[in-house]
Amino acid sequence: MAIIGRIREKSGILVGTIGAAIILFLVMDVFTGQNGLFGQKNTENIGEINGKEISAKYFQQRLDEAVENYKANTQQQKVDENTMAMLRDQVWNELLREQLNGEEYDKLGIQVSEEELLDMVKGNNIHPSVKQAFTDPQTGQFSVAQVVNFLKNLDKQPADVQNRWVAFEKYIYNERLNAKYNTLLSKGLYATKLMADNYNNDNNARAYGRVVFMDYTTISDSTIKPTEDELMDYFNKHRKDFEAKDNIRKADYVMFDVLPSGEDSAAVLDAVSKEKEGLAASTDDSAYVSLNSELPFEDRYFSRKTLASAYSDSLFNASKGFILGPYMENGYMKVTKVMDKTMRADSVSARHILVKVDQGQDPAAKKAKADSLFKLAKSGANFAILATQNSDDPGSAAKGGDLGKFAEGMMVKPFNDACFNGNKGDIVMVESQFGYHIIEVLENNRTTPSIKLATIAKKFEPSEATYKAVYNKATKFASTGLTGENFDQTVEKQGLTKRTAETITINDRAFNGVPDTRAVVRWAFEAEKGEVSKVFDTQNAYLIAVVRSVQEKDKADFESSKSKIEEAVRKEKKAEQLMAKADKAIASAKGDINLVGTSLNSPAQPINDVTFASGFLPAYGRELAVTGTMFGIKPKVVSKPIKGERGVYVVTVDSLAPAQKITDYAPMKVMAGNMFGNRVFESFNALKEKAKIEDNRHLFY
């Protein structure tokens, strides 16, 4: 994959401007990556795939790369825990694919040569991502010279750019390997003449008929009480249906929610009332808010449209200096002062030239360039041409720098203020975190009443004393000699609410929508069936759980599946009752489905355009047994009762429109072959099911 070396050997010095191409390349979302490990326990390996150990150190390296690429692609500096969990899954799946597919590539001798990689970057079969990154936005033309020049100077680029190019090489290398593998599989699938006939009939023959439908919901669940023997009998007959795809735990739990007490509410109200006096006396409202509010000061003007508050009318109708509150809003107790009232634009139009200052570049040189462009723009040079040729914002540069209309607060503050405080025709230069902006204000009509506000906000939340009181209550519950046997009785005796997490898997970050429960998940997989937990601290609540069932991967467990078994048995018993009614109605109807419907108080309804392949019954959904019956009975014959997914059906076919006979098998073979060929992408799942995989991520996170 050493493309750079080969290009240096084979290419002369090529000149080209590639600034815009590099910017486009940097935002391409084609890279994958990674982030740190905590809480390591007894193993150095995060997993094993078909005997190949994946070390925690290597996984961390891959995760770190994924995180950095995510930050670069999203322009975010921080990654929250939900995103981290997503990136961990992404890296793990990449490792699975690399190992499992890699084994198949090796067996089949599938390779990608250095010449092929060169061809994808600078040859006759350029990869689409390379084309996108190195296409001139003005001309729409792709330039191989720009690619070569970029690679020849890659060692002069910042380290992150070099690393991302290496990652990109790896990406297109693996993509080409996978494409060859999938092509090989798809070419091995062939549609015979018989398969083409079946495909044609299944998709193009149409059945038209009538249906009588009896919904399972017409029988109340409370009237069906399966015995333990019936449940066990069903479980034994359908054991395969209840095999777990993962290791699963079922747990019951109670939560002690921590809510603000009356004393907490009074304390917050008192604190905000005192701040109201301070805000009234303040001569520097923004500084006072910054020092005393739990929400930051918003240095901007609001229109009625942009002020999202139930109290906007009171604020807009008040005079400058008026203070509203205390009042509750979005979980905060607030007081708000009207700092200023003015007429301001609802939105403005502007265009700009961006001069970016990237890491490793000379700030002084960039400032000099910005000053030069600013002077040219002020002296009357064509702004659109200057933007097209010089702006580092490729999106707006292609439109002469035009950003269109935007509301206040949509742009970074220096840019926003320059536009909303300026006048039509003003040309100004400001600096932001993105670099230097040379701005021309195209439109600014100050016709909208606007206000600037200073708001002191205090979170309406429980105090430490309240947390301690609720914790003591949870601890008292946990110390009552709780066991798996008396858990339910103790919960009921104390008037608490028991909740159930039916399927907890080993890498779950949370369950039942309860945040901060990763520690509970980890405990559940270390605990025995019937074991009661300690008191867990979750977000604004304390939680105590008991493990109700332990189900291992690829095994069926009666207790773990009991609720599903009960549901299935109820459905069968309902079907038996409804089918018995239908049998009597059919026997007395003498072949007339309308009479069947009348007898069952469910009038026969027409159903048209039913195909065998879809399995779909218009107005009723996917009902394979019903559609199969329609293509298996003779026209004008009333069917026997059919047990479906939603209820019991009786059908008759009024007419059957056969598929047109095939005269040219070639197109139909292609369609049938494509249908099979599209399934080659399922090969990875098949390899995964067959593989021996040990996933130890739960020991690290």
- For 347-405, write each residue's pLDDT tens digit: 899 999 999 887 767 888 889 999 999 999 999 899 999 998 889 888 888 888 999 99
Say whether both 317 and 390 belong to one domain.
Answer: no
- How much is the pLDDT for 596? 96
Q: What is the CATH number of the domain that holds 395?
A: 3.10.50.40
Amino acid at 636: K
Grouping H, G, I as helix, E, B as strand and the rest as coil, residue 298 is coil
Domain end: 381, 415, 445, which one?
445
Q: Is residue 9 part of a domain?
A: yes
Q: What is the pLDDT of residue 139?
A: 67
DSSP 56-111: HHHHHHHHHHHHHHHHHHHT-S---HHHHHHHHHHHHHHHHHHHHHHHHHHHHT--
How many structural domains compose the chain?
Answer: 5
Average pLDDT estimate for 271-281: 92
Query: pLDDT of 320-354, one tens digit each?
Result: 999 998 999 998 999 999 999 988 888 899 999 99
Same domain, yes or no, for 26 and 165?
yes
What's the CA gap between 573 and 584, in Å, rounded?
17
Is 90 exceeded by the pLDDT of residue 636? Answer: yes
Tokens (6 digits) for 535: 């008191």
Q: For position 23, what pLDDT does the model report?
A: 37
Which residue did the predictor score with more confidence, 44 or 259? Answer: 259
pLDDT tens by residue, 69-124: 888 777 777 888 888 888 999 999 999 999 999 999 999 999 999 888 888 888 88
* Co-location of 547 and 408 in the same domain: no
Classify residue 198: in a domain, yes or no: no
Do residues 28 and 69 both lie within one domain? yes
pLDDT value of position 670: 78
Q: Is 682 a domain residue?
A: no
Q: What is the pLDDT of residue 360?
A: 67
Using the predicted structure, report yes or no on whether residue 694 has a pLDDT greater than 60: yes
Residue 552 tokens read as 């291992």
Residue 575: predicted pLDDT: 96
Asked if residue 199 is part of any domain, the answer here is no
| Residue found by looking up tokens 């600037």 in the block | 452
Residue 568: give the domain boundaries: 206-236+563-657
575 domain residue, yes or no: yes
Query: What are 185's two structure tokens?
Result: 């599989």
The pLDDT, as a whole number, for residue 13 is 34
Read off the DSSP letter of residue 658: P
Is 302 in the same domain as 158? no
Higher per-residue confidence, 289 vs 26? 289
pTM: 0.60
Instruction: Report pLDDT digits (tens) over 471-513.
Output: 999 999 998 888 999 999 999 999 999 999 988 998 888 899 8
Q: Does residue 438 carry a pLDDT above 60?
A: yes
Residue 672 has pLDDT above 90, yes or no: no
Tell me if 630 is assigned to some domain: yes
One domain, residues 356 and 501? no
Question: What integer is the mean pLDDT of 433-441?
Answer: 92
Q: What is the mean pLDDT of residues 660-667?
A: 86
- Flag whether pLDDT at 20 surpasses 60: no
Q: Is the pLDDT assigned to residue 27 strictly greater than 60? A: no
Chain mean pLDDT for the chain: 86
Asked whether the beta carbons of 359 and 327 are under 8 A apart, the reply is no
Task: Tell whether 469 and 381 lie within a shared domain.
Answer: no
282 and 251 part of one domain? no
User: Does a structural domain hold residue 696?
Assistant: no
Q: 2 pLDDT exceeds 50?
A: no
pLDDT band at 138 (very low <50, low <70, confident <90, very high): low
- Assigned domain for 510 exists: yes
The percentage of residues in the chain with a pLDDT greater than 90, rounded to a whole number, is 53
Helix (H) or strand (E) holding 48: strand 45-49
User: What torsion, rounded to 10 degrees, do the Cα atoms 554, 556, 561, 565 define?
Assistant: 120
Query: Of 513, 531, 555, which residue is a domain's last?
Result: 555
Distance (Å) of CA 377 to CA 312, 340, 395, 401, 435? 41, 34, 20, 12, 17
**DSSP notation for 79-93:** --HHHHHHHHHHHHH
Tokens of 225: 């009480």
- Between CA 116 and CA 124 the distance in angstroms is 10
Return the ∠ at Cα 202 (arms to 197 and 205), rounded to 5°. 100
Residue 136 has pLDDT above 80, yes or no: no
- Nearest CA to 25 out of 132, 149, 176 is that of 132
Give backbone dihedrals phi and psi of 144, rounded to 5 degrees, phi first: -65, -35
Question: What ranges make up the beta strands (E) of 320-393?
Answer: 323-329, 332-344, 347-355
Q: How far is CA 60 from CA 33, 46, 54, 100, 291, in A?
A: 10, 9, 10, 20, 40
Q: In this structure, what token pair is assigned to residue 145?
A: 């010279």
**45 and 121 co-located in one domain:** yes
| pLDDT tens sequence across 499-551 | 999 889 988 888 998 988 999 999 999 999 999 999 999 988 999 999 998 88
Between 14 and 695, residue with greater pLDDT: 695
Residue among 119, 253, 254, 227 nearest 173 (CA):
119
Q: Which residues pair with 302 in a beta bridge?
A: 451
- Label residue 439 by pLDDT band (50, 70, 90): very high
Instruction: State the Cα–Cα distance between residues 87 and 616, nearest whole angstrom.
Output: 38
> Are 42 and 699 in contact, with CB atoms under 8 Å apart?
yes
Inform me whether the pLDDT recorded for 37 exceeds 50: no
Task: Say yes or no: 146 and 214 in one domain.
Answer: no
CATH of residue 212: 3.10.50
Whether residue 117 sits in one domain with residue 10: yes
11 & 143 share domain: yes
Estimate to the nearest angstrom the gap between the alpha carbon of 260 and the chain centroid: 33
User: What is the pLDDT at residue 137?
Assistant: 62
